[in-house]
Amino acid sequence: MSVELVELVNQYLTPNVPISPIAQGAEAIVFTTHVHPYLPNEITKDIDTNKKYIIKFRPPKKYRHPVIDKSLTKHRTLSEARILSKLFQIEGLKVPRLIAMDAVNGYLWMEFLGEDLPNNKGFSNLKNFLWMYSSDGRDPYDKVVKETLFKVGEQIGLLHWNDYCHGDLTSSNIVLVRDSNDIDNWIPHLIDFGLGSTSNMVEDKGVDLYVLERAIISTHSSYSDKYNEWLVKGFSSVYEKQGKNGSKKLGELLGRFEEVRLRGRKRSMLG
């Protein structure tokens, strides 16, 4: 990460908000901090001890005209906030809670989700979680894995049933939050709606499913058949609960998923 960018963020946040960078993508840099942006200590001390927050920053792009750049940053930040806010209101759907926003400067604050997996297995996203179960002599087909993937499928089902698409559904963008009362209960949360949108198009939904399937095949190829089967089972369960209309939509969607898959295969054969 460039020193210049970190300096820009530090200047904006002031030394009162110490940050640690955790990720840099094409669009945004992500930091964590222990400082709440606005709640007085008297208020946070009871409810929020040791809380961590995420600061997601969309830096200016030098190759864009400054005026266009400002307006794009503002729109994208607002759009991500808006979609998170809508999704948060959908019953059963798990996304990070937004805390604060400065759209003009490209900053979003949200709650930090997840934890470090035991034995240095990394952050608790779906990708690392599956790695963990395929190493150290553990059973990659463990009941916990099956249940977790089913729940991931349910989350995507809920998202799609409500006509939202993720746009970048990789196994790193699914964070598992451990239930504090049951260590084997991992509750999947969907993050990074930077490319999210409302959409009722089967194509967009089919592509979401395809992207996740590819991600799992590429990182966990030996077990991917079963893993993807469990995901689709969880996904389908959401639609099947919706009666006839749900089953009809599910049929169309899985049909398109298959088409997208075939197109992908052709493309890779053509090289």
Partner 1 sequence: MLVSKLPQFPDFTISASLFSNIENGEDLVKDIANIPYSLIDTTLICSVEQIYSAIYRVLVEYKFNRIKTKSINSELLLCLSQNSNITQNFKKFGINANTKNLVIVSILENQINNDLNKEFNALLKGEEIELNNENLQKICDMKAIRKILTSNLMMIQILPRPLSMLFS
The contact set with partner 1 (CB under 8 A) reads 12-14, 16-17, 35-43, 47, 81-82, 84-85, 88-89, 91, 97-102, 104-105
Q: Which residues contact 8 (CB under 8 A, 6 or more apart)?
A: 59
Cα–Cα distance measured from residue 206 to residue 261, given in angstroms and rounded to the nearest whole number? 9
Our answer to whether residue 168 is catalytic in this structure is yes
Structure tokens at 132: 């963990």
- At 225, the amino acid letter reads D
CA distances from 58 to 26, 66, 180, 232 (A): 9, 14, 33, 33
Catalytic residue, chosen from 69, 168, 184, 204, is 168
Q: Which residues contact 88 (CB under 8 A, 6 or more apart)?
A: 95, 97, 98
Taking CB under 6 A as the criterion, which residues in 97-116 touch ligand AMP?
Answer: 110, 112-114
Structure tokens at 73: 């940053």
Cβ-proximal residue to ligand AMP, closest one: 192
Q: How far is the CB of 82 from partner 1 (least distance, A)?
A: 6
Taking CB under 6 A as the criterion, which residues in 182-211 touch ligand AMP?
Answer: 191-192
Interface with ligand AMP by CB under 6 A: which range of 17-25, 66-74, 178-186, 231-239? Answer: 17-25
Q: Choose the one of ligand AMP, partner 1, none that binds residue 112, judging by a C-beta under 5 to 8 angstroms depending on kind.
A: ligand AMP
**What ranges make up the beta strands (E) of 68-130?**
98-102, 107-111
Q: Which is nearer to partner 1, 83 or 174 (CB)?
A: 83
Q: How far is the CB of 131 from ligand AMP (least distance, A)?
A: 14
CA distances from 76 to 81, 88, 134 (A): 9, 18, 37
**23 binds ligand AMP per the rule CB under 6 A:** yes
Q: Which of 109, 103, 1 is nearest to 54 (CA)?
A: 109
Q: How far is the CB of 115 from partner 1 (least distance, A)?
A: 18
Residues within the interface to ligand AMP (CB under 6 A):
22-23, 25, 28, 30, 54, 56, 96, 110, 112-114, 123, 172-173, 175, 191-192
What residues are annotated to the active site? 168
